[in-house]
Amino acid sequence: MIGRTTAVVLAGLSGHLVDVEAHIGSSLPAFTLVGLPDASLSEARDRVRAAIASSALDWPQRRVTVNLSPASLPKSGTGTDLAIAIAILAAADQVDPALAGAAAHLGELGLDGRVRPVAGALPAVAAAAARGVDRVVVAAANAEEANLVPGIEVVAVTTLAELARSYGAPDAIASATAPVPLPARPLALVEDVDLSEVQGQEEARWALEVAAAGGHHLLMSGPPGAGKTMLARRLPTILPPLTDEDAVTATGIHSLAGTLDPSEGLLRTPPFEAPHHSASAAAIVGGGSGLARPGAISRAHAGVLFLDEAPEFPARVLQTLRQPLEHGEVVLHRAHGATRYPARFQLVLAANPCPCGQYYGTGDRCGCNAVQRRRYFGRLSGPLLDRVDLQVTVMPLRVGSAEPAEASAVVAARVARARASAARRLECTPWRLNAQVSGSWLRSHTDGEAARLVWQAIERGVLTARGADRTLRVAWTLADLDDRPEPTADDVAQALTLRSRGASA
Ligand SMILES: [Zn+2]
C-alpha cells in the first residue's frame, strides 16, 4: 500500500519539488521518515501523527515509512507536514490516492489538525507552477500570496480534516476550526512620501536625483536634523518601478522574510530598508538558526538600503556589504551548505560629520578633536567608500527658504529619461547604469576637455585613480540628465563637487 503526493521545499529563493511517498507495511507499528530530514523535519512526525488523530482519522496501526526524494536535497522547515499527512492517508486508503497525487501540498500542521501558513509561500508556489504543477493546496493564510502566482490553481484549506473530506474521507472532523492567521508583519514596506515635502535643500535634492539617474551609491554627511533620513526615504519615489523580473524576485524575498503584504500584489515600488546599527548581523545580512532567512540587505534587493549613522555599524557588518555590492547577492554559510539570496541594492549612507555631530560651518560648536573626527569617519573603510560615487554634505535647512518644492513624479520623469539615454549608450556592454561601468570603459570613452580636467586633477594629487573613475561615472550621469551625448568640462567640475564631503573628504 503506497500513497504519493508532492511537496515544495525552498533552498534560498529557489523552490524544488519533493516526491513524498508513504508505504504501509505489515510489521509492528512504527513511523520512519527518510530522505535527509533535519531536526525540524523529524518533529514533523509528531505533528503529522497528532494532526491525523485530531481530525478523527485513523493512524495506521502498522509500520509507516515516508520517503522524501530526492534525498540529496536538504529539506528544512515545516512546509512538508501537509504532504506527508496526505501521502499517509492515501496509502491507508482513507483518502482518494488519485486526488492526493494530483496536487502539490504546502503547509505546516498544528497538533490540533489546523493547517498553518509557511514563510516563502510565493516563491514555493511559483516554483511548483514553473515545474508544471496544476494545483497547489496551501493554508488559508497563504492563499492571497499564492494567488499572486499566475498559471496554477490555488486551493486554500483551514484544517487537515477539511482537505481530507474533499479527498473522499467524509468522516473527518476538525477538532479546531479557526484559521491560523499570518503573524503580524514587522514593518510597512510602502510609505506614502514625496519629494515635495523636502523644502529647500537644493544641493542634496540634486545629489539624490543624480544618484537615482546613474544608480550611484550615495553618502550624505551632515549634522543631525539636516534631513538626511527624510531625503533617503524619498529615493524610491524617484526610481523607476521594478521590472517584472525584479518584482517577482523582490516579492519572493519578502514572502520568505515575512514582510510581504499580499493585498498589495507584487512589489512594484523599489523597497526601502533602513536597519538600525544596533540590529544583529543576522537581521542585517541574513541568517538565523535553522533555515537561513534573508536579512535587510536582501529585503532591499532592487531597492534602497539606507544605513543611518553608518560609522556606528559594526565593522564586521560593513565589511560584509562588499560581497553584495560586488556580486549582487549574499552567500550565507550554514552547516548543511550555503544559501544564496539576491542582494542588489542602491546603498545610501548617512553620517554625522563627527562624533558630536556639530563639525560643520565654522566648526566652532564641535567639541571633538581632529583625531576623534578622523577616527569616526575612518570606520567607513576605504574599500566600501570606493564604491560610493556620490559623497555630499547636507547642511541644516536655513529658515525661510520655503519655495514650493518639485514633486517626486517630476523628478522621476527626468531620472527615467537619463536612465534610458545611458541604457542606449551601454547597449553593447554588460551594464545599464553609469554606476556599473568599469574604469577602463570610462577612460577610453571620455575625451576632450572633460578628460583633460580629470587628468589634471590626478596630476595635482586632487584625485586618485579610483576617485577619477567615480568622478567620470557621475559626469556621464550629469550629461545624461542634461541630454548631452558626452560629459563636458562643466560636468566634470560639478561631479567633483558631488564627491567631496566638504572639509572631511
Ligand atoms: Zn564634533
Quote the pLDDT of residue 185: 55
How close is the Cα of 360 to the center of ligand 1, in Å? 9
Per-residue pLDDT tens digits for 128-158: 999 999 999 999 999 999 999 999 999 999 9
pLDDT interval class at 176 (50, 70, 90):
confident
**Distance from Cα 374 to the centre of ligand 1, integer Å:** 11
pLDDT digit string, tens, across residues 397-427: 766 556 778 999 999 999 999 999 999 999 9
Residue 352 Cα to ligand 1 midpoint, Å, equals: 9
Per-residue pLDDT tens for 85-111?
999 999 999 999 999 999 999 999 999
d(CA 358, CA 352): 8
CA 366 to ligand 1 centroid distance, Å? 4
Q: Which residues pair with 221 in a beta bridge?
A: 351, 393
- Measured in Å, residue 355 CA sits from the centre of ligand 1 at 5
Q: Are 79 and 115 in contact (CB under 8 A)?
A: no
Q: Report the relative pairing of strands 218-221 and 390-393 from DSSP bridges.
A: parallel
Distance 56 CA to ligand 1 centre (A): 70
* 357 Cα–ligand 1 center, Å: 5
Ligand 1 center to residue 398 CA distance, Å?
21
Backbone angles phi, psi at 126, to 5 degrees: -60, -40
Domains of the chain and any CATH numbers? 2-166 (3.30.230.10), 195-498 (3.40.50.300)
- Asked whether the beta carbons of 84 and 42 are under 8 A apart, the reply is no
CA distance 169 to 410: 61
Of the candidates 125, 90, 78, the one whose C-alpha atom is nearest the C-alpha of residue 3 is 90
- Say what the pTM is: 0.89
C-alpha 484 to ligand 1 mean position (Å): 42
pLDDT, one tens digit per residue, over 361-373 is 888 889 999 999 8
Angstrom distance (rounded) from CA 382 to CA 301 = 24
CA distances (Å), 153 to each of 67, 134, 136, 355, in order?
26, 6, 6, 57
pLDDT of residue 308: 96
Q: How far is the CA of 501 from the centre of ligand 1 (A)?
A: 15
| 368 Cα to the center of ligand 1, angstroms | 4
Query: φ, ψ for residue 468 (rounded to 5)?
Result: -65, -40
Residues flanking ion ligand 1, Cβ below 5 Å: 354, 356, 359, 366, 368
